[in-house]
Structure 1
Amino acid sequence: MVERVTSEGVRTVDTVLERYGSTNRPQLRVTDSDAVPVGEVVRLAVDDAEYRTRVAEDASGSAVLRGAFESPRLARTPGEGENHLRAWLHALDLDYGRTIHLDVVTSDYKYGVRAPGERATYAATEAPDDGLASIARDLDG
């Protein structure tokens, strides 16, 4: 049986919903960049689904999340796959400048997003050991 954790039992970092790019796409700017591994692809729970996102860095040096995709490869090449984070944010219909919560489920490995005032439950996924993670990155390559 998969162990589950709630948003009340994990560290929560705030993000700010912003626009980026010439087409004003949404992004989440992480208020504590040390909470996420910039440049890495991590798991991201959105509602009851789990996706992959690449933690990017914007021009100011802040960590940002710009998508949630079906695979690590799609997270690295976001123009090729459906962006589930964008769809989720659109469905929330929040104004830009609002806070979205980022829950640290497993540091440097798995995170979850939730709307202000909402609670969430996540599958407590352990990060693979370094050797297995390296093999997975090579295969995904």
Structure 2
Amino acid sequence: MTERVPSDHATVDSHRVHLETVGRTGRPRVPLPDALDHDPEELLRLSLEGDEAHAQVTADLRGEPGVEGAYPDAQLARAGEGENRLAAWLDRHGLGEGDPLLFDVVTAGYQYGLRRPGERVVYDAVEAPDDGLADIAEKFG
């Protein structure tokens, strides 16, 4: 079941993070808030101010989790192929290293949102799939 939830709703937990870059490549990287527990290789649903995408959690050289890209579907996110919607979104808004972002927890462990401070977004909150179904989908996806 899908429910529409605004970013300022009491059920949405917002965390302030600052945009980073990856080494000399200059690729953007969004660190995950310390309060969240995510493992590298984990897939997340990530809304970029309403633009739905999928992202794979990666670890930096310190082992800290973050997201370096957001893609149209889970398979492309795993492969890091196709249009990187995160990079496009950051470019569209002129965001760069050190800029603040808000990382919203829409559905803990499954769905998150990224937005600029001061922006209000309405998310289509989706329940996390059953673990058994997710495992089956992972094998075929």
CA distance in 1, matches of 2:73, 2:86: 13
Structure 1 unaligned blocks of 5 or more: none
Q: How does 1:1-141 map to 2 (within 5 A)?
A: 2-9=2-9, 10-32=12-34, 34-39=35-40, 40-78=42-80, 80-140=81-141
- After the TM superposition, list the runs of 4 or more consecutive aligned residues in structure 1 that deviate by more than 4 angstroms: none
Structure 2 unaligned blocks of 5 or more: none
C-alpha contact (below 8 Å) 2:2/2:127 kept by paired residues: no
CA distance in 2, matches of 1:6, 1:83: 25
Calculate the TM-score normalised by the size of structure 2: 0.90
Residue identity matched to 2:97: Y
Q: Deviations over 1:49-102 (max 9, x none)?
A: 211000111111221111110111111111x21100000001111242121111
Calculate the TM-score normalised by the size of structure 1: 0.90
C-alpha contact (below 8 Å) 1:105/1:111 kept by paired residues: yes
CA distance in 2, matches of 1:69, 1:36: 22
Q: Indicate the SS of the match to 1:74.
A: helix
Question: Comparing both structures, which one devotes a greater share of its residues to helix?
Answer: 1
Q: Indicate the SS of the match to 2:25.
A: coil
Residue identity matched to 2:105: V
Q: Indicate the SS of the match to 2:19.
A: strand
Q: Indicate the SS of the match to 2:52.
A: strand
User: Alpha carbons of 1:52 and 1:4: their partners in 2 closer, same or farther (altered >3 Å)?
Assistant: same
C-alpha contact (below 8 Å) 2:19/2:31 kept by paired residues: yes
User: Alpha carbons of 1:46 and 1:14: their partners in 2 closer, same or farther (altered >3 Å)?
Assistant: same
C-alpha contact (below 8 Å) 1:13/1:35 kept by paired residues: no
Percent of aligned positions that are identical: 43
Residue identity matched to 1:44: L
Cα RMSD, aligned residues only: 1.5
Q: Indicate the SS of the match to 1:124.
A: strand
CA distance in 1, matches of 2:2, 2:131: 22
